[in-house]
């Protein structure tokens, strides 16, 4: 008697979805894997999107399939196939064409979408953008060809990278943020000085402590931005980067539990049978604090997707959780690594800060000083992997704490403590 072929359906073709597809295929060579993507491009490395704006990368250099583990063997990726609803009783997914796809195992990996401020008028004007997809990046490039000045609303990582890319194209760029400093979600104001200075050296104009209240436009599209303090800034394009929302609207009638994101257990499973979730859309847990958390980071999405794929294919695998913040990137010409708990103002965490002309280090320990729970390296990110290991493994560091603080830690010290 022939063994029934399992039908795997994955909604979302980015980091989590493709990582899950690869993991499933390694464990199940016979099951059918269908990946639904609402985009018109094949899966790609989303963190590279700003390179399309700067012109440093072509789309062919950003594709996932064919790179590293993403070989796409017997994985059916269906483009322009937005999921409209999920029926967990009949175990079907309805896509925008009206077609229903049956599933035996389902993964929700729909990621997130940019937040658009509800109190910002004029967002419908031509020349207003968010940067989330390659299609967004191409549209920004087209507008940039006839623009002199771009205004960026929001000081997060992606918006800063987009600002840098536009500066490289020769545009004037102004960044407007309500907070006192850039990257407020990733670090505290005093931590961001080197990043801000690097952006200003690159030509960025920074306006803090205010927000845009209206986008001004005429028949040609955007012509300026009105600030809440009455100032008006002339520009020809606006990019909004003020955080993201998990893509969960299509699950309203599904019975799948949603609480800001899709709620999953430690094995990435939802409350509905045979349904899993991973990546930006999933509400998982912070491995340090145990609190429920959604995280919009590529590395976390890949790890969680890989775990979900194992569970879907019948190999129970517990997700280790996320550190909440785990970002390694570069803004302008300054590298940075932020891991774990880095916002400490008004708390009882033990914090050690060291500064140099081209480097900034922040170490965060538990209030009793026994464990390292957060690090921020700006400028000099050497040995960040060792610190990540100590935080992730929740290791007591009493015997090597002075070495951590003095920046003398190396792998041999950790090995000695383990033995």
Domain final position from 218, 242, 266: 242
Residue from 59, 57, 86, 49 nearest 255 by CA: 86
Report, in this order, helix, strand and coil percent for the chain, each rounded to 5. 25, 30, 45
Tens digit of each residue's pLDDT, the chain (419 residues): 456 799 999 999 999 999 999 999 999 999 999 999 999 999 999 999 999 999 999 999 999 877 767 766 789 999 999 999 999 999 999 999 899 999 999 999 999 999 998 889 999 999 999 999 999 999 999 999 999 999 999 998 889 999 999 999 999 999 999 999 898 888 999 999 999 999 999 999 999 999 999 999 999 999 999 999 999 999 999 999 988 899 999 999 999 999 989 999 999 999 999 999 999 999 988 776 778 888 778 888 999 999 999 999 999 999 987 765 567 888 888 999 988 889 999 999 999 999 999 999 999 999 999 999 999 999 999 888 888 888 888 888 988 999 899 888 876 766 565 54
Burial per residue of 138-171, b for 16 or more beta-carbon CB atoms within 10 angstroms, e otherwise: ebbbebbeebebbbbbbbbbbbbbbbbbbbbbeb
Residue 333 lies in a domain: no
DSSP class of residue 43 equals: P
Residue from 246, 257, 249 nearest 85 by CA: 249
What is the torsional sign of CA 141, 135, 74, 317? positive
Statement to judge: residues 135 and 208 lie in one domain: yes
Domain final position from 217, 242, 267: 242
Statement to judge: residues 100 and 132 lie in one domain: no
Structural domain boundaries enclosing 265? 7-113+245-312
Residue that the structure tokens 């390659």 belong to: 134
| pTM of the predicted protein model | 0.90
Domain final position from 242, 265, 298: 242
CATH number for position 209: 3.50.50.60
């Amino acid at each position: 008697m022939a063994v029934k072929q399992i039908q795997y359906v994955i909604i979302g073709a980015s980091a989590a979805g493709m990582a899950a597809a690869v993991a499933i295929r390694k464990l199940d060579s016979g099951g059918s894997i269908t990946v639904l993507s609402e985009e018109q491009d094949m899966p790609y490395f989303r963190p590279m999107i700003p390179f399309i704006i700067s012109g440093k990368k072509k789309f062919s250099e950003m594709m996932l399939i064919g790179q590293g583990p993403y070989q796409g063997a017997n994985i059916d990726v269906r483009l322009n196939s937005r999921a409209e609803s999920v029926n967990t009783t009949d175990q079907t997914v309805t896509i925008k064409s009206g077609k229903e796809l049956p599933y035996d195992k389902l993964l929700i990996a729909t990621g997130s979408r940019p937040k658009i401020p509800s109190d910002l008028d004029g967002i419908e004007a031509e020349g207003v953008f968010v940067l989330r997809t390659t299609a967004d990046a191409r549209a920004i490039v087209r507008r940039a060809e006839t623009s002199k000045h771009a205004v960026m609303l929001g000081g997060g990582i992606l918006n800063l990278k987009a600002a840098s890319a536009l500066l490289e194209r020769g545009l004037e760029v102004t960044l407007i943020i309500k907070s006192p400093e850039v990257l407020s979600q990733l670090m505290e104001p005093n931590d961001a000085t080197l990043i801000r200075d690097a952006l200003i050296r690159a030509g960025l104009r920074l306006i803090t402590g205010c927000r845009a209240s209206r986008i001004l436009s005429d028949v040609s599209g955007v012509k300026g931005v009105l600030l809440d303090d009455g100032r008006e800034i002339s520009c020809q394009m606006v990019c909004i980067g003020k955080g993201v929302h998990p893509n969960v609207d299509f699950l309203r009638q599904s019975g799948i539990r949603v609480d800001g994101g899709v709620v999953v257990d430690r094995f990435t499973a939802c409350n509905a049978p045979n349904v899993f979730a991973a990546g930006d859309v999933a509400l998982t847990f912070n491995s340090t604090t145990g609190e429920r958390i959604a995280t919009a980071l590529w590395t976390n999405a890949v790890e969680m997707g890989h775990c979900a794929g194992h569970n879907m294919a019948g190999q129970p695998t517990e997700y280790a959780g996320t550190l909440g913040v785990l970002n390694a990137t570069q803004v302008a010409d300054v590298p940075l690594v932020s891991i774990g708990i880095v916002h400490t103002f008004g708390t009882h965490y033990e914090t050690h800060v060291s500064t140099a002309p081209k480097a900034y280090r922040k170490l965060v320990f538990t209030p009793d000083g026994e464990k390292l729970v957060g690090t921020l390296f700006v400028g000099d990110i050497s040995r960040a992997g060792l610190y990540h290991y100590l935080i992730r493994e929740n290791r007591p560091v009493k015997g090597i704490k002075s070495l951590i603080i003095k920046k003398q830690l190396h792998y041999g010290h950790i090995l000695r403590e383990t033995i």
